[in-house]
Chains A and B, each alone.
Chain A
Amino acid sequence: MEPKIEISSLRVKYGSKEALKGLSFQIMKNEILGIIGPAQSGKTTLLKVVNRTIEHVPGVELNGMVSIDGVDIFKMRDVHALRRRVGMVAPLPVGLPLSIYENVAFAPRTGGMNNKAKLDVIVERCLTQAALWDEVKDRLHTLGTKLSGGQQQRLTIARALSHNPEILCLDEFSIAIDPVTTMRIEEVLKELRSSMTIILVTNLVQQARRLADRTAFILNGELVELAETNLLFSDQAVDQRTKDYVGGIFG
């Protein structure tokens, strides 16, 4: 196993508030890394660092290093190219105010692709992967924002896959989706693992347990423990706080 993403002593400050207090760990190629931890512990911030959208937050201060395939992402000239290598799914569904088709075609189009036939293929592939194709294939040109919350979330996932990312970041993707759809997407994620590296931030401890190869527990901007998922969820977890959290004693 070779590392896909290396994070070393990453610190993020919003003004005087420190969101990440020196994280260091590696994310392996083609693994699903689960990240668990209570609210406000810096999970979302970490994802925003990986695709550098953190730079759009006013007053943010970054320290440390993050590299993808050995290249420091903060030294990459073309931040937009970096973001196309990273698929990002936000916790709340965001259907862009465009048609369903254009929602998925948006990323390839901004990347400069205008070939209708190729776009058709991408749209169908991504909507299928996001378990949405069957429901919307007859109304691709209606507004994406008119879909239900769960459908919009799958649309968001389809959009995140549309630019062929090497890394897929999911930030609590299932809070707006029903359990059956969640299961279907979880199956998709297991398949996607062969072609990409997946970071799965989740509030559902059991979801990490089902999906993740390794799981990291983050608390108050610090990495408490990172281990094989079945180790972390067993008695062999090293840190007492981890045991308490996965055991449901706090958090």
Chain B
Amino acid sequence: MHPFQETIHSKSRQRKETYIKGLFCCMTIAIIIPLILIIGYMLHEASPVLSADFLLKAPERGMKAGGIWPALLGTIYLVMMSLIVAAPIGVMAAIYLNEYAGDNWLTRTVNLAVINLAGVPSIVHALFGLGAFVLFAGMGKSILAASLTLAVMTLPVIITSTKESLAAVPMAFREACWNVGATKWQTIRRVVIPNSISGMLTGFILEVSRAAGETAPIMFTGAVFYKAVEEGNLFAYNLTDQCMALSMHLFTISTQVPGVPEAIPFATAIVLLGTVLVINAFSIAFRIYLRSRKRW
């Protein structure tokens, strides 16, 4: 027999390979289809009201007409504030846990606590925020209290993803730096962080998406049903103000207010999705740039 002739076994292996590849491909398509359907359907339903005016005008006639400017601006404030608070704390904590802390029962406990914290329901974070920031710290219901609550809620996500991206940097790089007398910080700053930034950005993207979408944590701590602010002014809110937010707005107009035209909730949902995408677009673009010059 010719050595390269096909045997029954090699044919069945190839068939199997084809089936398996096909199966995985189908699953990938299966997760894309609902996404396209959802977005397509929402865009279709929202099209009658979706316009620049919808973005930049305040709601009118008890939410039954007009735009969503105060809610859009509120969400931007909440998300950016929570990111500004959570990102540095989360990144620094992750660096400490991964680079400095030894492997002992205390750090293992801290790691476990971080993972568990990520699993705590958002309503629990809401109650914590109400107790700690609104009442105890005396911030009252405000953008500040709400975004701090969101920051606490999203910290574990940032810590976990940052830690994973740090751990993905080969140990040999660190040893090479230590060998030439670099301090831990010099090693981290010049070699470890530049090579784990794209993973950290993934954490920020998750943070933004979650902070923008959550309703419960901000309901008790700073978000309100209606708030009048100057239309089109990016600095219309103060940090001590209460604010509207897209997620909460979507919830109220779809369940609490009778007689809202169908298109408005859908348009609100599209704007919420779009806001998250736009904020994330910056980190996604930066991440693509970094990937393009991956160094090893």
Contact = CB atoms under 8 A, between A and B. Distances in A.
Interface of A: 51, 53, 56, 58-59, 80-84, 87-88, 90, 92, 94-98, 106-107, 110-111, 143, 145, 156, 159-160, 162-163
B217 to A, nearest CB: 38
B173 interface: yes
Interface stretch (B8-16, B62-70, B174-182, B267-275): B174-182
Interface string B181-205: 1110010001100110000000000
Contacts of B61: none
B60 interface: no
A33 to B, nearest CB: 19
Contacts of B103: 58-59
A90 B191 CA distance: 18
Contact of A90 (B172, B182, B186, B296): B172
Q: In this complex, which of B172, B173, B176, B177 has the most chain A Cβ atoms within 10 angstroms of its Cβ?
A: B176
B179 A160 contact: yes
A156 B176 contact: yes
Nearest to A103: B176
B183 A51 contact: no
Contacts of B181: 80-84, 107, 110-111, 163
A146 to B, nearest CB: 9
A97 B175 contact: no
A39 to B, nearest CB: 18
Contacts of B182: 80, 106-107, 110
A97 B176 contact: no
Given A90-B172, A107-B182, A97 B295 contact: yes
A53 B296 CA distance: 24
B180 A106 contact: yes
A204 to B, nearest CB: 22
Given A56-B178, A90-B176, 19 more contacts: A53-B175, A56-B175, A58-B103, A80-B182, A81-B181, A83-B180, A83-B181, A87-B180, A90-B172, A90-B175, A94-B173, A94-B175, A95-B296, A106-B180, A107-B182, A145-B295, A145-B296, A160-B179, A160-B180
Nearest to A85: B181
B1 to A, nearest CB: 40
12 contacts: A58-B102, A80-B181, A83-B179, A84-B181, A90-B172, A94-B172, A94-B173, A97-B173, A97-B296, A106-B182, A107-B182, A110-B186
A89 to B, nearest CB: 8
Contacts of A84: 180-181
A163 to B, nearest CB: 6
A90 B295 contact: no
B191 A96 contact: yes
A143 B173 CA distance: 14
Contacts of B178: 53, 56, 83
Kindly list the 4 A-B residue pairs having the minimum CB-CB distance in the complex, ordered from nearest: A97-B295, A107-B180, A84-B181, A83-B181
B179 A96 contact: no
A88 B179 CA distance: 6
